[in-house]
Structure 1
Amino acid sequence: MKKNTLIAASMAAVISLSPVFTTNAFADVNTDIQQKDAKLNDLKSKKADLQADLSSLVSKLDSAQAKSKELQASFNKSAEQLKKLNADIAAINTRIKEREAVLKERARSMQVNSNSNVYLDVVLSADNFGDLVDRVSAVNTIVDSDKAILDEQQKDEDALKSKSASVKKEQAKQQKAIASYEEQQNKIEAQKAEKEAVVAQLAAQQATTEQEKSTLIAQRDREAAAAAARAAAAKEATTVQPVAATETASSSNSSSDSSSASSSSSDSKSESNTNTSSSSNNTGSSNIAAPTGSGYDAMISAAYAQLGKPYSLGATGPGSFDCSGFTSYAFRAAGISLPRTSGAQYAASTKISSSQAKPGDLVFFSYGSGIAHVGIYIGGGKMINAQNNGVSIDSLSSSFWAQSLVGFGRVANF
Structure 2
Amino acid sequence: MKPVSSRPINQPPAQPQTQPAVTRSTSQRPVLTNDINVVREEPLVKKTGESSPVAAMNKAAARRTVYGGAASNLILQGINSRLGIPYRYGSEGPNTYDCSGFVWAVFRDSGIEFERTSARSLWAMSTPVTGDDRFVFGTLVFLNKLGHIGIVADENGFYHASRSKGITYSPFKGYWEKRIDGFRRLDLPVAQPAAK
TM-score interval, smaller chain:
0.5 to 0.7
Q: Secondary structure at the match of 1:299?
A: helix
Matches within 5 A, 1:5-84: none
Q: Secondary structure at the match of 1:297?
A: helix
Q: Report what 2:125 is aligned to.
A: 348
Count of aligned pairs:
122
Q: Report what 1:323 is aligned to.
A: 99
Distance 1:386 1:405, change over 3 A: same
Matches within 5 A, 1:204-353: 294-339=70-115, 340-353=117-130
Deviations 1:95-126 (A, max 9, x none): xxxxxxxxxxxxxxxxxxxxxxxxxxxxxxxx
Deviations 1:206-247 (A, max 9, x none): xxxxxxxxxxxxxxxxxxxxxxxxxxxxxxxxxxxxxxxxxx
Structure in which a larger fraction of residues adopt helix:
1
Preserved contact between residue 141 and residue 184 of structure 2 (Cα < 8 Å): yes
4+ runs deviating over 4 angstroms: none
- Structure-2 separation of matches of 1:336 and 1:384: 17
Residue 354 of structure 1 deviates from its aligned partner by 4.4
Q: Is 1:394 equivalent to 2:150 in the alignment? A: no
Deviations 1:72-112 (A, max 9, x none): xxxxxxxxxxxxxxxxxxxxxxxxxxxxxxxxxxxxxxxxx
- Structure-2 separation of matches of 1:360 and 1:316: 19
- Structure-1 separation of matches of 2:93 and 2:122: 17
Choose from 140, 146, 156 the match for 1:371: 146
Q: Secondary structure at the match of 2:101?
A: helix
Structure in which a larger fraction of residues adopt strand:
2
Choose from 125, 139, 142 the match for 1:361: 139
Preserved contact between residue 327 and residue 375 of structure 1 (Cα < 8 Å): yes
- Structure-1 separation of matches of 2:89 and 2:9: 79
- Structure-1 separation of matches of 2:185 and 2:101: 17
Q: TM-score, normalised by structure 2?
A: 0.57
User: Structure 1, unaligned stretches of length 5 or more?
Assistant: 1-126, 130-292
Preserved contact between residue 127 and residue 187 of structure 2 (Cα < 8 Å): no
Preserved contact between residue 375 and residue 386 of structure 1 (Cα < 8 Å): yes
Preserved contact between residue 87 and residue 161 of structure 2 (Cα < 8 Å): yes
Distance 1:403 1:301, change over 3 A: same
Deviations 1:350-381 (A, max 9, x none): 01124222101100102xxx410000001131
Q: Is 1:407 equivalent to 2:185 in the alignment? A: no
- Structure-2 separation of matches of 1:337 and 1:386: 19
Residue 335 of structure 1 deviates from its aligned partner by 1.6
Q: Report what 1:380 is aligned to.
A: 155
- Structure-2 separation of matches of 1:401 and 1:359: 17
Amino acid at match of 1:365: L
Amino acid at match of 1:396: F
Preserved contact between residue 316 and residue 322 of structure 1 (Cα < 8 Å): yes
Amino acid at match of 2:146: I
Residue 334 of structure 1 deviates from its aligned partner by 1.8
Deviations 1:317-353 (A, max 9, x none): 0100000000000000122123411111111110112
- Structure-1 separation of matches of 2:9 and 2:176: 74
Deviations 1:113-142 (A, max 9, x none): xxxxxxxxxxxxxx568xxxxxxxxxxxxx
Amino acid at match of 1:393: Y
- Structure-1 separation of matches of 2:80 and 2:160: 10
What is the CA RMSD across the aligned residues, in angstroms?
2.4
- Structure-1 separation of matches of 2:9 and 2:181: 83
- Aligned residues with identical type, % of pairs: 27
- Structure-1 separation of matches of 2:87 and 2:183: 22
User: Structure 2, unaligned stretches of length 5 or more?
Assistant: 1-7, 11-68, 191-196
- Structure-1 separation of matches of 2:179 and 2:96: 24
